[in-house]
Amino acid sequence: MSHIDRRTFLKHAAIATGGLAVASELLPSPVLAQEDSPLRPDPAARRGGTLRYAVHSAAAHFDIHQSGTVANIGPQGPMYDNLIRRDPRDGQTIIPDLAWKWDIAKDGKTYTFHLRKGVKFHDGADFTADDVKATFARIVWPPKGVVIPRTPLFAAVSEINVLDPHRIEFKLKEPRPAKFMLGSFASGWNVIVRKKSLEEHGGNLRQVMNFPGTGPFKHVSRVDKEIWIQERNPNYWNKGLPYLDRLEIYAIPPFDPANGSALLAGKLDYGRLLDPVSARKVKATPGMTSTDFYQTVVQAFFMNNKKKPFNDPRVRRAFHLALDKHVLVDVVKDVAPMMVGGFVYPFSEWASPAAEMSKRLGYQTDPKPAVQEAKKLLAAAGYPNGIKDLDFLVRDIATFRLWSVAIQAMLKETINVETKLRVAQASAWFDEAQAGNFDVAISAIVSTLLDPSDYFTAWYGKGGPQNYSLWENPAFHDLTSQIDHELDDARRKALVRKAEDILEQDPPLVPVSWEKIYDGWYNYVKGVNPYKIIGIYDVVRWDTAWLAK
């Protein structure tokens, strides 16, 4: 045994204490026994019954990883688990799922997940680290013919190593903020699928309706564009969950009054993406509840940067200031609930405070100062008499049709800009927008996370998948890279603020409004908490839902 003197002891103790302090910052995994889950069965919950639920809609294919629509994650979500997940009770906290514990190395470059033992897929096969590796290898490095929207979230991942059947590590080329990485792993889209399923279908599950998951519900039957029936998984690893015997998931398009009417008539127990009129009626009906909640979507007015006059930031800022966002939110209030916000999710920790925003030009309830500034900017850019004949590409959805008419009138009235509306169905809209065949356009863009490292790249990044304005700003792109790499929250927030300033002065788009959505349900549906969840992609499993009837 080597001799330890006082000096050596103190030195090691200091290192150990410091290490623990750093580790406590970087290792946020809750301390649980392996078989435990933070989601424990509620003794008050009643077991059994069928929950009849309607959600958008008939999926165009079955590969959740390749999808970007609730039409997949809505009906398929209950059949799968994630490595880690958002807590359905608050919609935010990241909690263990198939990984019961995780460690993050001190240098932030290695994430190790400890997997539960004894978990079975619905076909009876054991769940192991090989399945996790196969799942994430496909997400991080999609094979040819496979396109996965979440791939950019894992751009820093360089290796995925199976350490043993129940331990797996992800190595990063360079550290990323832990919140961002954990949020990416916890995204509802990143469900764990069997390695064998991927191998059997050449890594493409688009045409495979029922590939086995480990989730709380199992596939029973499905009729296209009509219903997906699932039953309780009796071998679910989280003993005692789910409470429901059966799920009947009806395919009803979003905001379709058929959803609200089916709910009000008692044909459904729970409706997601209700139209506002139905939501109000639900709220006024005894025994029923409705709430709105935040969605990870901004409704945006795009300006084609590759065309004059929108290659001039002054013109784009003039348009940004000329549009009265408060009025635009009001215009669609009977069609969809919306809120005013800037270029950063207004309800996220990264947003400028609401009080500050309300004083900022372009967001004030009194639009006059913003309009005066807009006129000055347009004159300085060489358009003192306004602009004529702009091609305005409008996506054929009720909200965009309403907004397009309001925006057309606003632009004409405030800065004498004349636009010609061209309404296009969704599929044609994306064709035209991606080809740059428009002067101005309106549609919605979506993100997986509220973290700027996700949507600053997707929406405003050079060549970003949803950067329909084809906007570029080297200073902003440089800041985005810094935001991606900065591990300190406070410094990261300061960088986001700087980036926001650039976006205000050189707008890539006009944030018309930020989307909220309505859910409605009968009060006997318990164990769900849409009040606090954000978006409709992460909390979709129904494992904690029960019926008090």
Partner 1 sequence: MRKYLARRLILALATLFGVSVIVFVVMRILPGDPLVAMFGMEGFTKLTPSDRARLIADLGLADPLPVQYAHWIRDIATGSFGRSFFRGDSVRDLIVHRGPLSAEIGILAVLVSWVVGLPVGIVSALRPNSVSDNVARSASILFIAIPGFWLGMLIVLASLFWFGYKTPLRVIHLWQDPWANFQLVIGPAIVLGLGQGAYIARMSRSCLFEVIREDYVRTARAKGLVEGLVIMRHALPNALLPVVTLSGILMGFVLGGSVAVEQAFGVPGLGRSLVTAVIERDIVVVQNLVLLYAMIFVFVNIAVDLSYAWLDPRIRY
| Interface with partner 1 (CB under 8 A), residue from 93, 235, 261, 364 | 261
Query: Which of the stretches 8-16, 374-382, 410-418, 463-471 binds partner 1 when contact is defined by CB under 8 A?
Result: 463-471
CA angle, 517 then 347 then 538, to 5°:
55
Tell me the two tokens of residue 382. Answer: 């060489």
Closest CA relative to residue 276, chosen from 333, 338, 206: 333
Looking at beta carbons only, is 430 or 524 nearer to partner 1? 430
Looking at beta carbons only, is 71 or 411 nearer to partner 1? 71
- Asked if residue 68 binds partner 1 (CB under 8 A), the reply is yes
- Asked if residue 207 binds partner 1 (CB under 8 A), the reply is yes
CB 254 within 8 A of CB 57: yes
Looking at beta carbons only, is 70 or 390 nearer to partner 1? 70
Within positions 107 to 146, which residues make up the interface with partner 1, using CB under 8 A? Answer: 144-145
Q: Say how far apart CA 268 and CA 409 lie, in whole Å.
A: 41
DSSP assigned state of 78: G
| Interface with partner 1 (CB under 8 A), residue from 60, 163, 409, 494 | 60
Q: Say how far apart CA 448 and CA 189 lie, in whole Å.
A: 9
CB 420 within 8 A of CB 389: yes
Q: Say how far apart CA 470 and CA 304 lie, in whole Å.
A: 6
Binding footprint of partner 1, residue count (CB under 8 A): 53
To partner 1, the closest distance from the beta carbon of 344 in angstroms equals 19
- Asked if residue 283 binds partner 1 (CB under 8 A), the reply is no
Looking at beta carbons only, is 18 or 145 nearer to partner 1? 145
- Non-local (6+) Cβ contacts of 65 within 8 A are 135, 138, 139, 146, 148, 150, 189, 190, 191, 193, 205
- Asked if residue 39 binds partner 1 (CB under 8 A), the reply is no
Angstrom distances, CA of residue 5 to CA of 9, 36, 171: 6, 42, 38
| Interface with partner 1 (CB under 8 A), residue from 430, 477, 501, 532 | 430
Query: Which of the stretches 41-49, 66-74, 333-341, 383-391 binds partner 1 when contact is defined by CB under 8 A?
Result: 66-74
| Interface with partner 1 (CB under 8 A), residue from 45, 51, 55, 59 | 59
| Interface with partner 1 (CB under 8 A), residue from 10, 32, 209, 409 | 209
Tell me the two tokens of residue 249. Answer: 């998931």
Q: Is 490 helix (H, G, I), strand (E, B) or coil?
A: helix
Looking at beta carbons only, is 309 or 535 nearer to partner 1? 535
| Interface with partner 1 (CB under 8 A), residue from 98, 297, 298, 390 | 297
CB 537 within 8 A of CB 189: yes
As a whole number of angstroms, the longest Cα–Cα distance in the chain is 89
- Asked if residue 298 binds partner 1 (CB under 8 A), the reply is no
Looking at beta carbons only, is 181 or 444 nearer to partner 1? 444
- Asked if residue 258 binds partner 1 (CB under 8 A), the reply is yes
To partner 1, the closest distance from the beta carbon of 265 in angstroms equals 3
Q: What's CA 402's distance to the chain center, in Å?
A: 25
Query: Which of the stretches 30-38, 203-211, 308-316, 477-485 binds partner 1 when contact is defined by CB under 8 A?
Result: 203-211
- Asked if residue 223 binds partner 1 (CB under 8 A), the reply is yes
- Non-local (6+) Cβ contacts of 366 within 8 A are none
Q: Whose structure tokens read 């300006």?
A: 303
Tell me the two tokens of residue 138. Answer: 């496909």
Angstrom distances, CA of residue 399 to CA of 189, 336, 443: 27, 7, 9
To partner 1, the closest distance from the beta carbon of 399 in angstroms equals 13
For binding to partner 1 (CB under 8 A), which residues are involved? 54, 58-62, 66-72, 144-145, 147, 149, 206-207, 209, 223-227, 250, 252, 258, 261-262, 264-268, 297, 424-428, 430-432, 434, 443-446, 448, 464-466
